[in-house]
């Protein structure tokens, strides 16, 4: 089941209030924020599986992709 990340939620909410030009200006920031969020989730999962082990044997990247179903949106 795919979930919307907090960054995607914010981007969607703001996009209805931005002009096309403003949206284009902020797009790079949203992409950077999405990449940072992805790294944070992956690092947390990797830390958790390293510290406590055995949790579905997913890497952080696999967990993120499974949870947020991203194909580099």
**Would you call 3 helix, strand, or coil by DSSP?**
coil
pLDDT at 67: 84
With tokens 């990340």, the residue in question is: 5
What share of the chain has pLDDT > 90, as a percent?
Answer: 37
Distance CA 23, CA 21 (A): 5
Average pLDDT of the segment spanning 43-57: 70
pLDDT at 73: 45
With tokens 């981007």, the residue in question is: 11
Mean pLDDT of the chain: 82
Contact between 8 and 27 (Cβ < 8 Å): no
> Which of the two residues, 53 and 19, has the higher pLDDT score?
19
How far CA 58 is from CA of 10, 31, 61, in Å, comes to 28, 24, 8
pLDDT at 29: 94
């Amino acid at each position: 089941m795919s979930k919307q990340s907090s960054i995607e939620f914010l981007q969607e909410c703001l996009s209805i209030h931005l002009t096309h030009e403003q949206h284009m200006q902020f797009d790079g920031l949203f992409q950077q924020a999405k990449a940072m969020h992805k790294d944070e989730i992956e690092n947390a999962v990797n830390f958790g599986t390293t510290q406590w082990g055995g949790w579905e044997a997913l890497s952080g990247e696999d967990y993120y992709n499974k949870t947020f179903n991203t194909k580099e949106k």
